[in-house]
Amino acid sequence: MEMTPRQRWLALLGRQPADRIPTDYQATAEVTARLLHELGCAGEDALWRKLHVDKRKYVASRWRLPHHPDDPQADLWGVRYQRMDYGSGAYEEPAFCPLAAAETVADVHAHRWPDPDDFDYAAIARALDADDGYWPIHSCCYEPFLLYGYLRGLERSFEDLVLRPELADAILGHLFAFYYEHQRRCFEAGGGRIHLTWVAEDLGSQTGPLMSLAMYRRFLLPNQIKMAELARSYGIHVMYHTDGAARLFLPDLIEQVGIEVLNPVQWRCAGMEREGLVADFGDRLIFHGSIDNQYTLPFGTPDDVVAEVRESIEIYRSARWICNPCHNIQPNTPTANIVAMYEAIHEFGKP
């Protein structure tokens, strides 16, 4: 009997057999728009069904304010963004970091921080009341140091951990206080109908960790544990996102944070080889990703993509795996390669 996407995810999370290897999807908005047009799909649900994608459905609260109270050009944190065009697409990049000039803890406290009261949490209940039960439900993401970089500036953020730890504690403290209460209300509004959430932080570069294990344990680990425990108290499974060479942190993430799903497994990065991850952590993690979007998907042929999918199937045979690109598919990726990935896993990913 064919399972729904929700049933496949929940089977994997419950260590039960599924009718095939589940799939997921990550891409830029430009790629999704192109696929909708070229594959003749009226909407995203139709696209996921056509490609056999077990896509998570996101539900979220609604911010009631039109803009930051002190800056009509800024988001709820006071960050302004500028659209940066790179030829085939564009990203919104921080253009104004409101805490860049902060020098004291008092400066941090004086910032206009968002209030959990400014959100409509009933929007989550309304979305779930209308849900048809077909897709797995995902809500919320806790990724504080990424946002810290937007508030403070990326270089200054890393400097703070070494030179100004009191500022780091103050900023991370405000971020945690907001997210803990905001996500608690989101999960409460979900009424037991939310399946997954992100606890996340980019810990690795292409060649090695972005910070030491000691720095991670000092500034990020304690609150990641609390956020994961909050999710589990509502019966929600914890996914973890980190780019790059992050193997150093996996024991803490598994044993202390209690993550269940690791994304995106950039296996070309040092220490992230699929075989080693399966050997060392395959009994405790679901691997989510692994189809290379830096070389194979954009620059390979459809045959190269099929070969990598089949190779991954064999490597993950003794583990649990969700087939997904190892980060957002970029606009330079041919449609034929994307289709080849999903057709290959649908054909060869059955028991």
Q: What are phi and psi of 153, to 5 degrees?
A: 100, 135
Give the sign of the dihedral formed by CA 139, CA 144, CA 145, CA 149.
Answer: positive
Can you give the pLDDT at residue 239?
Answer: 98
pTM: 0.97
Distance of alpha carbon 122 from alpha carbon 141, whole angstroms? 18
What are the chain's domains?
5-60+133-348 (3.20.20.210)
Give the sign of the dihedral formed by CA 140, CA 142, CA 148, CA 154.
Answer: negative
Alpha helices in 140-290 (DSSP H): 144-152, 154-163, 165-190, 213-219, 221-233, 250-252, 274-281
Can you give the pLDDT at residue 124?
Answer: 98
Task: Look at the chain and count its residues.
Answer: 351
Q: What is the pLDDT along the chain (351 residues), one digit of tens a residue?
A: 899 999 999 999 999 999 999 999 999 999 999 999 999 999 999 999 999 999 999 999 999 999 999 999 999 999 999 999 998 899 999 999 999 999 999 999 999 999 999 999 999 999 999 999 999 999 999 999 999 999 999 999 999 999 999 999 999 999 999 999 999 999 999 999 999 999 999 999 999 999 999 999 999 999 999 999 999 999 999 999 999 999 999 999 999 999 999 999 999 999 999 999 999 999 999 999 999 999 999 999 999 999 999 999 999 999 999 999 999 999 999 999 999 999 999 999 999
How, if at all, do strands 196-200 and 237-241 pair? Answer: parallel
What is the CA angle 122-123-128, rounded to 5?
A: 95
Contact, 152 vs 195, CB < 8 A? no
Give the sign of the dihedral formed by CA 57, CA 61, CA 67, CA 73.
Answer: negative
Can you give the pLDDT at residue 1?
Answer: 83
Structure tokens at 193: 């109908």
User: Helix or strand or coil: residue 191?
Assistant: coil
Can you give the pLDDT at residue 88?
Answer: 87
Please enumerate in sequence order all residues whose Cβ is within 8 A of that of 68, keeping only pairs 6 or more positions apart, or say none: 74, 75, 76, 77, 78, 112
